[in-house]
């Protein structure tokens, strides 16, 4: 499926539409190069914003656990949610406080959340998130027990509407500010991987496995996660 998403009342971009897009590949790339999402949902009129680990499989978005589990189980048609993934890419410094900004890539995805109750589907989803993050790792793990699968909450949502918003350029100062004598530009920020910290009870004889070689210290997390996702898709 490569056609763009169709904007609806929830997803139509009203502010700064020049930065917005309904392009499917753009939305997918923002989702797949991240593992942290924020989920907004409403219970009894009160909005909540919960961070979670998410993963995508086609047009289905999954995420881990939910403090809304009880609410989800009670909702036959699903709980309306908005799932947002944002990469912060830079601080944009201008000659006027007004023109300061941030560089970022953001995807907002709308749909109705359901608890995954079917044991087989839940088992598949839980193995999928491990292989999506660390392709090949499941084959080396102690298999999950029925009790572990039961004890985990997985939420599923079909993507109904989605939009992306991206700012990735240098500063947009007013032309007449060009000679104002203060530094202007972008201070980039990147989320990078650090040196691995083995479990204190890990025997010295167990090295970092090949399936983690992509997670080398200094690499950008978004690049590694996008690569892992692509590898997982190719192998499954």
Exactly one of 171, 226, 227, 233 binds its own copies (CB under 8 A); that residue is: 171
Exactly one of 60, 170, 230, 236 binds its own copies (CB under 8 A); that residue is: 170
Exactly one of 73, 148, 230, 236 binds its own copies (CB under 8 A); that residue is: 148
Contact 18, 169 (CB under 8 A): no
Please state, in angstroms and rounded to a whole number, the distance separating the CA atoms of residues 35 and 54. 6
Closest residue by Cα to residue 64 from 203, 157, 197: 157
Q: Name the minimum Å distance from CB 232 to its own copies.
A: 14
Q: Which of the ranges 10-18, 19-27, 54-62, 114-122 carries the binding residues for its own copies, by CB under 8 A? A: 10-18
Quick one: three-class SS letters along 18-44?
HHEECCHHHHHHHHHCCCEEEEEEEEC
Q: How far is CA 27 from CA 23, 162, 194, in A?
A: 6, 7, 27
* 187-226 positions binding its own copies, by CB under 8 A: 187-203, 206-209, 212, 215, 221
Q: Name the minimum Å distance from CB 25 to its own copies.
A: 21
Q: At a CB cut-off of 8 Å and minimum separation 6, what does 203 contact? A: none
Nearer to its own copies, 2 or 213 (CB): 213
* 13-52 positions binding its own copies, by CB under 8 A: 14-15, 35-36, 38-42, 45-51
* 104-133 positions binding its own copies, by CB under 8 A: 104, 106, 108, 110, 126-127, 129-130, 133
Nearer to its own copies, 3 or 44 (CB): 44
74 binds its own copies (CB under 8 A): no
Longest dimension (CA), the chain: 67
Please state, in angstroms and rounded to a whole number, the distance separating the CA atoms of residues 52 and 63. 6
């Amino acid at each position: 499926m490569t056609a763009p998403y169709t904007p609806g009342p929830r997803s139509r971009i009203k502010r700064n539409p020049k930065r917005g897009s309904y392009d499917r590949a753009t939305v997918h790339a923002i989702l797949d190069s991240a593992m942290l999402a924020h989920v907004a949902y409403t219970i009894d009129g009160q909005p909540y914003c919960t961070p979670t680990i998410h993963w995508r499989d086609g047009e289905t978005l999954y995420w881990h656990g939910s403090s809304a589990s009880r609410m989800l189980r009670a909702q036959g048609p699903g709980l309306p949610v908005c799932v947002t993934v944002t990469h912060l890419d830079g601080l944009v410094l201008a000659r006027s406080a007004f023109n300061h900004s941030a560089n970022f890539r953001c995807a907002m995805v709308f749909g109705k959340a359901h608890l995954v109750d079917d044991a087989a589907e839940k088992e598949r989803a839980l193995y999928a998130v491990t292989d999506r993050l660390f392709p090949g790792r499941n084959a080396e793990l102690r298999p999950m027990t029925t009790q572990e699968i039961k004890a985990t909450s997985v939420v599923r949502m079909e993507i109904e509407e989605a939009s992306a918003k991206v700012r990735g350029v240098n500063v947009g100062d007013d032309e007449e500010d060009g000679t104002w004598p203060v530094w202007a530009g972008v201070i980039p920020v990147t989320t990078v991987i650090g040196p691995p910290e083995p479990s204190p009870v890990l025997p010295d004889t167990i090295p970092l496995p090949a399936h983690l070689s992509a997670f080398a210290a200094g690499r950008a997390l978004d690049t590694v996660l996008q690569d892992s996702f692509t590898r997982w898709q190719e192998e499954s």
